[in-house]
Structure 1
């Protein structure tokens, strides 16, 4: 497929894209706002300060990029950092991470006019794309303007590689226009080279996700929440968090939790759905099933009678991890590829995931081999592993210690990726 044909298909598909936005806005009203930004229409910076563009997709990538963004802010005080996202939740996360210190807009759709308007307004001297966020027209426009491009923290699953292979002429043309790739693993690097990217412009740096910095303030806030939420319960009461769950997964978590409560009746479940549009349906599912539910968004009190705290807010997941004893990371009991297990690991939490972890296969394997993560395949398996860890405090602490050691052993990608960014900026 040629880029011209790809662009034509994109233009013809615009009505469907708009309909999809309307559908998503029906579920999550934030999708109805700021449409003009997606087409490159926005008020750009009022001065001519040089800029570095960092593109993330949503919440996970925004959090992963945060250490690099902060390092860039320190190393390049004469540059404006522009961070873009594709989703309202990602946008909200960027605002919470940086406040007014960051210029933020939605990334433009991958159409020549939209991309051109965007680049004209921010005038980047370097474009950094996180993980697998690549768009043919965007990469081509940067290449034409001699803007260096870095695909950093890059990962490419076998499934994604097969998808790129099906449009090999388009993907090869796009990849070869990138200036450099900082791959997470040797397997990721191999897949990129098999698609045609030159080995000479690639380096395996590891993943930024191991460089998660957890402040003492966050730990203290988490412990304060824990004391508040367990008030009135016996001293042995524990908190089990199920994070970033998807449709079809909540039911399995609830089933597992109810089984755990047969032997550990004072356990509190924190359930955090992945997407905001699911907050209300999950609440109705929980309360309709006879469970006593408190909503975090409305500051409902968590009493000894509360079964489930619904984490229906944005930007608080790490605090909730810090308040918990063990974590299940979602998107893994259903075929979504799993979400980031290193976030709970950074807080020393034993972690459980389902079998569908292709988005984090290397990380999961590393954690599993170190005894920091357990894989389960069913709700019954989740119940058994959860009950075991909650009942055996010593085993729980041992697994949590292994998680901390995994994080410590694998740090270092941040410094390498910063050096690559600075080298490209100086070219």
Structure 2
């Protein structure tokens, strides 16, 4: 059962935040235009960020699900399918804040689900968003604690759930400077479903009620897709050479990976390294870095061919990681040699990967602990240890095979969050939404929204 949330009384800190963001709102279009020039906004949909969407509200009950970016969006796709199956009378709106996540969702959302950009966190934009969409329930993913978004939604008595919730130790320390605000925000949720017991405990310390640990939805997310055409094309480009992939890399990591490539080439002169940046728009930047390091790179986004002289295949494209995971055994997961917090190791594990990671995996701490305990992953610290680890896996097929088996078994043992999340959400939605219609009534048309 979910707990009744308390409509938050604005603390002094939250009042100051609301007043400041109201005053700064006229400057938001300038900020969005700067982001647009860097490829971080969609020119045709800037009004959505200002709380003025062009798309009409669908008739009937509407559930709003907000996921910050790519990883969160992919993790909730199975949940979206299950929610729509459980409630055939609803529509589901998914909001995100990045262009990359919008593009990924464009072709992967099912019927009765659609994407919008989340409004910036000013009172004007959030109020416009809520006035237009009038959601019947709101589900926020992971750690999206935007003060105006939460307090203005709760003030309308719209049931709120925080799902797949996580809270790092550093975030807890930061919120302790704003204890009253943290309690008001986390106390606005009727239901909080945490990724693990550690996150649940931290959220309770901040004031969350109705909190339980149900597991991580990213564990239950399906592996990224890859068409037969893509697999044939990549196999033709990559076959015949010792090859490994560095996936979802971030600024600061490509230099380390390039250094590791230089070191590996002493023993493996025909080595090919594949780098897949987390954000494809960084392709030109990464290509310049590689050129400065005297490495020959082929950019996939530019249609460059892999030749015998190619050192690095730079896959600066969107939605093709599933192909590389299926074809290449040795996978380094990025966001972990710099303090990003790591990325989901489950996806490559289910596709036959021998995993490597850096030390900074606080976004997936419990999962990586399970992997390390079962020898399903190796942690590297720098270019030298990365090169040594890749070299060992390339030269020792037995070691690589054992790592692949351990990773697949570990990933399989961690599932179950999707069922538990759905089980907890259905009562909340049944209470928030109009009664379910009979099959005949559903066939006759959608419920008209009051």
TM-score category, normalised to shorter length: over 0.9
Deviation at 1:304, TM superposition (A): 3.2
The root-mean-square deviation of aligned C-alpha atoms, in Å, is: 2.1
Choose from 250, 253, 257 the match for 1:249: 253
Distance (Å, rounded) in 2 between the aligned partners of 1:146 and 1:157: 29
The corresponding residue for 1:179 is 190
Choose from 58, 69, 72 the match for 2:80: 69
The corresponding residue for 1:408 is 412
Deviation at 1:65, TM superposition (A): 1.3
Deviation at 1:17, TM superposition (A): 5.0
Choose from 317, 329, 333 the match for 2:337: 333
Deviation at 1:376, TM superposition (A): 1.0
Secondary structure of the residue that 2:360 maps to in structure 1? coil
Choose from 3, 6, 10 the match for 2:21: 10
Alpha-carbon displacement from aligned partner over 1:146-176 (angstroms, at most 9, x marks no partner): 2211111111010111112111111110111
Choose from 178, 188, 194 the match for 1:167: 178
Which segment is superposed worse, 301-310 or 7-16? 7-16
Identify unmatched segments of 5+ residues in structure 1: none
Distance (Å, rounded) in 2 between the aligned partners of 1:370 and 1:104: 39
Deviation at 1:387, TM superposition (A): 0.8
Choose from 209, 229, 232 the match for 2:218: 209
Deviation at 1:19, TM superposition (A): 4.9
Distance (Å, rounded) in 2 between the aligned partners of 1:146 and 1:223: 49
Deviation at 1:209, TM superposition (A): 1.1
Deviation at 1:271, TM superposition (A): 0.6
Q: Which has the higher contact order (CA 8 A, sep 6+)?
A: 2
Distance 1:320 1:15, change over 3 A: farther
Secondary structure of the residue that 1:2 maps to in structure 2? helix
Deviation at 1:63, TM superposition (A): 0.9
Secondary structure of the residue that 1:426 maps to in structure 2? helix
Alpha-carbon displacement from aligned partner over 1:57-99 (angstroms, at most 9, x marks no partner): 1111111111111212222221111000011111111113227
Identify unmatched segments of 5+ residues in structure 2: 1-11, 432-450
Distance (Å, rounded) in 2 between the aligned partners of 1:367 and 1:46: 44
Equivalent positions of 1:369-388 (< 5 A) are 369-388=373-392
Matched, 1:291 2:295: yes
Equivalent positions of 1:205-284 (< 5 A) are 205-214=214-223, 218=226, 223-231=231-239, 233=240, 237-284=241-288
Distance (Å, rounded) in 2 between the aligned partners of 1:111 and 1:169: 20
Matched, 1:81 2:92: yes
Secondary structure of the residue that 2:54 maps to in structure 1? coil
Q: Normalising to structure 1: TM-score of the pair?
A: 0.92
Distance (Å, rounded) in 2 between the aligned partners of 1:273 and 1:230: 18
Q: Normalising to structure 2: TM-score of the pair?
A: 0.88
Distance (Å, rounded) in 2 between the aligned partners of 1:214 and 1:338: 17
Matched, 1:58 2:69: yes
Secondary structure of the residue that 2:109 maps to in structure 1? helix
Alpha-carbon displacement from aligned partner over 1:261-319 (angstroms, at most 9, x marks no partner): 22223332111122234211111222343322221113322233322111111122222
Equivalent positions of 1:99-110 (< 5 A) are 102-110=113-121
Number of residue pairs the alignment of both structures matches? 420
Contact 1:238 1:324 in 2 (8 A): no
Distance 1:304 1:74, change over 3 A: farther
The corresponding residue for 2:152 is 141
Choose from 411, 419, 424 the match for 2:423: 419
Distance (Å, rounded) in 2 between the aligned partners of 1:392 and 1:41: 58
Which segment is superposed worse, 34-43 or 44-53? 44-53
Contact 2:32 2:41 in 1 (8 A): no
Which segment is superposed worse, 156-165 or 268-277? 268-277
Which segment is superposed worse, 334-343 or 14-23? 14-23
Secondary structure of the residue that 2:298 maps to in structure 1? strand
Distance 1:248 1:47, change over 3 A: closer
Distance 1:321 1:93, change over 3 A: same
Distance (Å, rounded) in 2 between the aligned partners of 1:284 and 1:340: 28
Deviation at 1:226, TM superposition (A): 4.4
The corresponding residue for 1:360 is 364
Distance (Å, rounded) in 2 between the aligned partners of 1:84 and 1:30: 14
Matched, 1:324 2:324: no
Secondary structure of the residue that 1:167 maps to in structure 2? helix
Deviation at 1:220, TM superposition (A): 5.1
Matched, 1:123 2:131: no
Secondary structure of the residue that 1:218 maps to in structure 2? coil
